Amino acid sequence: MTPQPRLRTLPAWKALEAHHARCGGEHLRDLFAADPERGERFAAEGAGLYLDYSKQRVTDETLRLLLDLARAVELRPRIEAMFRGEAINLTERRAALHVALRAARGQVITVDGQDVVPAVHAVLDRMAAFSAQVRDGDWRGHDGRRIQNVVNIGIGGSDLGPVMAYEALRHYSDRRLTMRFVANVDGTDFAEATRDLDPAETLFIVASKTFSTQETMANAQTAREWCLGALGDERAVARHFVAVSTNAEAVAAFGIDPANRFGFWDWVGGRYSMGSAIGLSTMLAIGEDCFRAMLGGFHAMDEHFRGAPFERNLPVLMGLLGVWNCNFLGARSVAVLPYEQYLKRFPAYLQQLTMESNGKRVTRDGAVVDYQTGPVYWGEPGTNGQHSFYQLIHQGTQLVSCDVIAFAQALNPLGRHHDLLLANALAQTAALAFGKTADELRADGTPDWLLPHRVFEGNRPTSTLLAQRLTPAVLGALVALYEHQVFTQSVIWDINPFDQWGVELGKALAGHILPALESGAEPALGHDSSTNALIRRCRERR
Ligand code: F6P
């Protein structure tokens, strides 16, 4: 029998539908007017983060029904199954145990009967020793010169986490090291990242879980040639290349000394891997202590997610509010708006985390869903976005929910800058919620003909995440918050957030197109007429 999706048949879901039909249109203006305490009541705190969700379009009743839904889909036992290391990634038959990457020494987490925590800490200790050597100048290049540059080669989870964390924690980084990140197979990425670097002073980290990803392997090969071309000795690879991978054989076949491989495990998904050895570039930049503080932040949020009651549980609340926005209010995208320049790559990082995880159309047992799943994530740091796409969020025809992220303290206090920044962040959430009515505009002297253009409907939902300042621990907590929000939503939508079959087809087709592009003769092109014509055109103009 063809499996059927269950979600919409659940009484808890039907209750939410009925509730939405009754009061889904209520305006935030009225909700705030009716409850002077709303701004204080609709808030929760955990692991150094304060979440204000009072500007989400929910009532006490909405929250009660969403929490009923969480119980109906058995969220609590599903969280436990993840933390216990069960093989919850069903299509790949493995655990999804990123929480073990930040478990405290001595904690016991077993996979297939084996405690994985000692191995996690053994790798962390090796990373720490290696990072200290490089940072202290004890790890030298082939000709004895100090390493001044570190280039991380990787893509997807092997790039986005490292580059985001480096940018986010740059304030804490050793400025003597130049950090670069190469991801794209477009040669420009490599060329621009290395054009001003001296190979004798450059260390490459080849970061790839599988050590078979086409882009990373092409860039690693180019790096090898670039390095050996200058240094002229195969033995230089041992001083200028280290690998981060689960695939020991492929690392050795590439010529990297097995002693220079930092391993991790198949139960760490690529987009969940920044706390593993994939974070080696992060540790090189910020040092062991800051890296461990970041892991501490992750762990604090893990504990909060596992232990806090759902009504005060940040990832659960954010997950449920996201379901409400997506499935009931019709918001198909979430804008992530960090009012913190150091988080400029955070939206890009979240895109892979959220969309590769929850961009799925079938349930865990293969039924085609009859409801929306993961929304589109996007964003830019404030205030830049205000002068770009905020117009659409305020006055466009589609509903976008926003996550505003802000910090009470600046890392670079400069005159009034931080107050200006914070004032903008808070002003935007108020403007999005309450808008500006025709009456208010008239009272301000707006002529009638201009009113339709100047009216702000408001009622645009936002969550505000506030922390004291952007520290390594806060970054860890923030990332873990979104990881667990994604998990919470995947449980509601009954999908597997830990596989990514949707990236396979394009990879396979590229493998077929490459020979057609590279061959000189007119081949019997076995592709569709559009692809054939494009191949021919590219070839003629090469
Ligand atoms: O894009 C698919 C993907 O498998 C991601 O999930 C992963 O983060 C990325 O490729 C890189 O994979 P690897 O670390 O194995 O090179």
Closest-lying ligand 1 atom to the alpha carbon of residue 160: 8
What share of the chain in percent tops pLDDT 70? 99
Please provide the average confidence, as pLDDT, over all residues in the chain: 96
Q: How far, in Å, CA of 34 to CA of 40, rounded? A: 14
pLDDT over 60 at 478, yes or no: yes
Of 527, 497, 501, nearest to 513 by C-alpha is 527
Q: How far, in Å, CA of 109 to CA of 223, rounded? A: 38
So what's the pLDDT on residue 521? 59
Does residue 155's CB lie within 6 angstroms of at least one atom of ligand 1?
yes
At 444, the pLDDT band (50, 70, 90 cuts) reads very high
Q: Which amino acid is at 5?
A: P
Q: How far, in Å, CA of 239 to CA of 288, rounded? A: 21
What share of the chain in percent tops pLDDT 90? 94
> Omega into 383 within 30° of 0, i.e. cis?
yes
At 525, the pLDDT band (50, 70, 90 cuts) reads low
In angstroms, the Cα distances linking 307 to 76, 83, 147, 301 are: 10, 11, 44, 10
Distance 136 CA to ligand 1 centre (A): 32
Q: How far, in Å, CA of 415 to CA of 382, rounded? A: 18
Distance 355 CA to ligand 1 centre (A): 14
Residue nearest to ligand 1 atom 16, measured at CA: 208
* Residue 61 appears among annotated catalytic residues: no
Residue nearest to ligand 1 atom 10, measured at CA: 156
Does residue 240's CB lie within 6 angstroms of at least one atom of ligand 1?
no
pLDDT over 80 at 427, yes or no: yes
For 326-348, the pLDDT digits (tens) are 999 999 999 999 999 999 999 99
Helix residue ranges, H only, 406-494: 417-434, 438-443, 451-454, 472-493
The token duo for 64 is 């009660």
The token duo for 104 is 């405290």
Q: How far, in Å, CA of 98 to CA of 287, rounded? A: 21
* Residue of 155, 181, 265, 483 to test ligand 1 pocket, by largest number of atoms within 8 Å of CB: 155
* Residue of 500, 504, 505, 507 to test ligand 1 pocket, by largest number of atoms within 8 Å of CB: 500
Residue nearest to ligand 1 atom 2, measured at CA: 503
* Cβ neighbour number for residue 409 with a 10 Å cutoff: 12
- Bridge partner list, 206: 153, 243
- Bridge partner list, 46: 49
* Cβ neighbour number for residue 506 with a 10 Å cutoff: 9
Q: How far, in Å, CA of 540 to CA of 243, rounded? A: 39
Distance 420 CA to ligand 1 centre (A): 39
So what's the pLDDT on residue 109? 95
Q: Can you give the pTM of this predicted structure?
A: 0.97
Does residue 210's CB lie within 6 angstroms of at least one atom of ligand 1?
yes
Q: Which candidate in 340, 356, 380, 483 is catalytic?
A: 356
pLDDT over 60 at 523, yes or no: no
Does residue 503's CB lie within 6 angstroms of at least one atom of ligand 1?
yes
At 516, the pLDDT band (50, 70, 90 cuts) reads confident
SS3 343: helix
Q: Which candidate in 14, 417, 507, 512 is catalytic?
A: 507
Q: How far, in Å, CA of 179 to CA of 255, rounded? A: 23
Distance 216 CA to ligand 1 centre (A): 10
**HSE (CB half, 13 Å, CA atoms) of 262?**
29
* Residue 507 appears among annotated catalytic residues: yes
- Secondary structure, 3-state, 366-397: CCECCCCCCCEEECCCCCHHHHCCHHHHHHCC
296 sits in which H/E element: helix 280-307
The token duo for 398 is 């589609």
At 261, the pLDDT band (50, 70, 90 cuts) reads very high
pLDDT over 70 at 524, yes or no: no
Does residue 276's CB lie within 6 angstroms of at least one atom of ligand 1?
no
Query: Tokens 């990457």, residue?
Result: 101
The token duo for 458 is 């408001």
At 163, the pLDDT band (50, 70, 90 cuts) reads very high
Sign of CA dihedral 170, 171, 172, 174: positive
Q: Which amino acid is at 315?
A: P
For 62-72, the pLDDT digits (tens) are 999 999 999 99
Residue 170, class by beta-carbon neighbours within 10 Å (0-12 exposed, 13-18 middle, 19+ buried)?
Answer: middle
So what's the pLDDT on residue 542? 84
Residue nearest to ligand 1 atom 5, measured at CA: 156
